[in-house]
Structure 1
Amino acid sequence: MPKSVIWITGASSGIGEATAKKFSKEGFQVIISARNEGELNRVKLECSNPSEVRVLPLDLVEINTFKENVNQAISFFGKVDIVLHNGGISQRSLIKETGLEVDRKLMEVNFFGTVALTKAILPHFISQKSGQYAIVSSLVGKFGSPYRSSYAASKHALHGFFDTLRAEHFQDNIAVTMICPGFIRTNVSINAITADGSTLGKMDEAQEKGMSPENCAAEIFSAVTRKKEEVYIGGKETFSVHLKRFLPSIFSKVIKKAKVR
């Protein structure tokens, strides 16, 4: 039986790296993408089956390259079964201090880059009558949080887009899994952009105490292989989704006082 092929973006570190290693260990053929080719090669060599891993450098803002990237990804193993959209950037800045160009950058990378790559590979999924998009959103894709205004907006937008895609392409046997991590112990806060577009350069306290990338990857693997529609990953912060839904006034009081930076 042919092995399943997964293409993971943002795979040079953090959740993407851990997920690439998990899928490799479980016998998948893996394509890993990010901007840093050197780090991708390191991740490949650290996977359980490096001979079944292919490196494909990709920048989510270079959408004019996506058609070629998709053709190359398909050529590696003859098909792609799953695209795990993990590439993106986070934010740590107040609305009143943040330049519009920073808001645009967050949307360009997190939303438009992901959507463009999705559209580029969609004909392949339609033609083979199967495929799955797994999207690493965030808990703030379900609610807003201080210091993350346009980051949260970009993740909210992904939910709207992919919920629609799921409804439009179920007849093509295309599945969508929305993945909403909370605090995961990665460099996401260190690399987050601030009000002027510079990087924060330090680890959030909550991030430092968060779930390990490896445990997060295990939960992602379970959700993707079971084709769950949506999953929340993390610690007690995941209950915020339910608090927002069922007790919105209490949630509003909590989020105003939350230590999120």
Structure 2
Amino acid sequence: MEQGGNGKQKGKRKSLRDSVVWITGASSGIGEAMAYDFSRMGARIILSARRTDELERVKRNCEGPEENIRIIPLDLSETDSLTGKASEAIACWGEVDVLLNNGGMSQRALAAEAEMPVIRRIMEVNFFGTIALTQAILPHFIARKSGYVIVISSVMGKIGTKYRSTYAASKHALQGWYDCLRQEMYEHDVDVSLVCPGFVKTSITLNSLTADGKTYARMGDGQSKAMSAETFSRKLIPKLEKRKAEIFIGGPEIATVWLKRLSPALLNAVLKRAKVT
């Protein structure tokens, strides 16, 4: 399911294979899979996440010339550092064409029990860190009259289920912020795409935070039976080439987005009876 385009652009768009692509959350899951696909395409890529050793592993497994891959470790919760990280990214090749905001964390906790420091931590990474990094790169895009901001959001940015209140809140917040940004960027020829995955088999559930901030350390049923990150990436990249405003990729769970629009009461009845893990 795709929605709309990013409007008529005056600037010259580069194909993704000719672009410098900066990927956050590149040390595992969707970010890692996309790094491999972009490297196969011939793009120059910048890999970012907290764990330098894992970024080095991903770099070794990428295809193409080693000089086409750079590493910039970063922590999205350290928002004051992100302007400097953007300068580092631009300095790699003198330009960045695409920022792929993929870094984030999930949650498994009842809303009434989640401790406020844990709520703040999730919002800091998923929302504040993501928009701070985007703000850091936007002057570069605006000055060049060219750029592409991609945000890996979630179906949870459109609906809500048990145990994911803060995660859903962070994704709903991303949807609103980037919808507004898209309107503001038309005149600067900068595209904005929101990607809403359904279930994808990654470690995000294993690494989810519980009410007191401990690691959940279990694989949810939805993730365990879902498409792989590699399949997701292969489905996503052709859609990114079209620069659609919104992109939905997943299984039957994608239908919940339509159901909420058509009949919120019916969706609520379905979710009320559903087994959610």
TM class by smaller structure: over 0.9
Q: Say whether residues 1:44 and 2:59 are aligned partners.
A: yes
Aligned residues: 261
Residue in structure 2 matching 1:203, options 214, 219, 234 = 219
Q: Give ranges in structure 2 of 5+ residues lacking alignment.
A: 1-13
Q: Say whether residues 1:257 and 2:273 are aligned partners.
A: yes
Query: For residue 153 of structure 1, what is the aligned residue in structure 2?
Result: 169
Supply the distance in 1 between the matched residues of 2:171 and 2:161 (Cα, whole angstroms): 12
RCO comparison, higher one (Cα < 8 Å, 6+) = 2
SS in structure 2 of the partner of residue 119 of structure 1: helix
Query: For residue 145 of structure 2, what is the aligned residue in structure 1?
Result: 129
Query: For residue 114 of structure 1, what is the aligned residue in structure 2?
Result: 130
Report percent identity of matched pairs: 48
Is 1:177–1:223's contact at 8 Å kept on the other side of the alignment? no
Supply the distance in 1 between the matched residues of 2:112 and 2:271 (Cα, whole angstroms): 18
Q: Say whether residues 1:100 and 2:116 are aligned partners.
A: yes
Is 1:33–1:57's contact at 8 Å kept on the other side of the alignment? yes
SS in structure 2 of the partner of residue 91 of structure 1: coil
Q: Give ranges in structure 1 of 5+ residues lacking alignment.
A: none
Supply the distance in 1 between the matched residues of 2:197 and 2:274 (Cα, whole angstroms): 17
Is 1:178–1:229's contact at 8 Å kept on the other side of the alignment? yes
Is 2:77–2:121's contact at 8 Å kept on the other side of the alignment? no
Supply the distance in 1 between the matched residues of 2:80 and 2:113 (Cα, whole angstroms): 32
Is 1:190–1:202's contact at 8 Å kept on the other side of the alignment? yes
Query: For residue 199 of structure 2, what is the aligned residue in structure 1?
Result: 183
Residue in structure 2 matching 1:35, options 37, 43, 50 = 50
Query: For residue 18 of structure 1, what is the aligned residue in structure 2?
Result: 33
Q: Deviations over 1:200-256 (max 9, x none)?
A: 011111110011100111122122211011011111111111011112111011111
1:209-224 alignment, distance < 5 Å:
209-224=225-240
Query: For residue 71 of structure 2, what is the aligned residue in structure 1?
Result: 55
SS in structure 2 of the partner of residue 97 of structure 1: coil
SS in structure 2 of the partner of residue 66 of structure 1: helix
Q: Say whether residues 1:138 and 2:136 are aligned partners.
A: no
- 1:78 to partner: Cα distance: 1.4
**Which residue type is aligned with residue 20 of structure 1?**
A
Q: Say whether residues 1:3 and 2:14 are aligned partners.
A: no
1:222-261 alignment, distance < 5 Å:
222-261=238-277
Is 1:138–1:181's contact at 8 Å kept on the other side of the alignment? yes
* Structural RMSD (CA): 1.2
User: TM-score normalised to the size of structure 2?
Assistant: 0.92
**Which residue type is aligned with residue 51 of structure 2?**
N
Runs of 4 or more, structure 1, over 3 Å off, are none
- 1:18 to partner: Cα distance: 0.2
Supply the distance in 2 between the matched residues of 1:230 and 1:196 (Cα, whole angstroms): 34
Supply the distance in 1 between the matched residues of 2:84 and 2:141 (Cα, whole angstroms): 16
